[in-house]
Structure 1
Amino acid sequence: MHGPGDGDRNLLEMDIETRVKEAQEDPSSPIRDELIIENRQYVRKVASKICKKHIRIQDDEYSIALMGFNEAINNYKENQSTAFLSFAYTVIKRRLTDYFRSEKRHLYQVSLVPADAKSQESNYPEVVKKSFEEHQDIELKEKRQSDVEEFRDHLLKFNISMDKLVKVSPKHKDTRENLLKIAQRIVSSEELLEQFCKQQRIKKEFAEQVGCHRRTLKRHRIYLIALVVVLVENLPTIRSYLGLPAERKGGEECE
């Protein structure tokens, strides 16, 4: 038995597009539901192809694909250069791509290239991975820049410039680690934090409370202020650079 010829396929496409237009014009018409029911198999095949795995009707991906098909019915224009099913494929692919980007565990399943480019299918996951990583890099750079600017603003409240901070930062790792521990002790107590932020000169009693010699606190006061700011304020990329948890801990704003 022969399959339908090109003429038959064209008639089928015209029939679908006519019904799509009717569904758009009359929201109460049952035509929309009929179109969705009739094309469920097509939608599932498209989803399977894009996801590069067998999609069942119970899967979230199938639901996303159906919503994409319904969206295609809403947005298809009669004078478009592409046939409706080709347009629906594009919309479904876009919706699944958005879904997978929000669900990072699906990163390697998304296809972002045309359906007829079969010869290059083995490269799709790498293309998607690279695209996604580039997007993440841009977001990270923007967040890092934002954190640095906010950090600079907080330091200026203490008349500390970034250049000055760089100049006085301890060269030895052990010293930096010891000062970080002191800063953590300071922010762990609201009373100590308030004393540190408000007193102009380091007092002997304060030094004893944080377990450090007064001369050490005086010598590294600027660096300590910077550490306290990082620990108190919401500066996740700078905290990450220091090897600290992303969440800020304890204390009120140091101003």
Structure 2
Amino acid sequence: MLSLLFISKKKRKEESLEEKVALIQQGDLELREDVIKAYQPFIAKSVSSVCKRYINETDDEFSIGLIAFNESIEKFSSEKGNSLLSFADVLIKRRVIDYIRQQSKEQTVSMDYGSESLEDGSDRSSIQDELSLEDFRKKTDAELRREEIAQFQQILQEFGLSFQNLVKQSPKHVDARKNAIEVAKILVDNEELRKHLLEKKRLPIKELEKMVHLSRKTIERNRKYIISISLILLGDYVYLKDYIKGVLEK
């Protein structure tokens, strides 16, 4: 009996974080608590990178990060191609940024009622706070965009691609880009094609040819671009998905 218990514990230690998350999503509450506790330093580090200061467990921002990490466990899907930690890192930072923005807005509103007005009727504190908040938005958005691209580059490397491929291999004409994006959408929505891409790291051209109104030659010519777009659609990439949205709206 003791030997079986030892083997069971040994197996759990060998499980990857993603495997543990799968068990948690099946209802293992004890494992959820263990994982959250074990990754509190990771949570604090993610939160600190946004707040630009040391964060401990008593800070409100840490609580926001903790909730976001738990949310990432619930929402994580291995089919998207990301690791749990990269997904959690993005989600934690977004939630903390939203919290800071909300706090800044509330502070601005309260100061509007308690500060003296200038000769032109404007409020010095309110103006300064709005400028600071806008500056914060720009800096954090730029930082998150850089991190998102860095994470995406890591995924692309597994497929023998780089972020430059998305730029250089992008079809020159808008209609051609839209067609390629539509191919990527069809791939992502099809379980078998999606599985083929993620497991074999290559585009299922033969199967796609039967499902789209494009020639094999066209699909092959835009292969790298279609793979890149498919990975964006599968992942949790807010800024990169804006690029896709922009192409489709043109």
TM-score, normalised on structure 2?
A: 0.50
The one of the two structures with greater contact order (alpha-carbon pairs below 8 A, sep at least 6) is 2
Larger Rg: 1
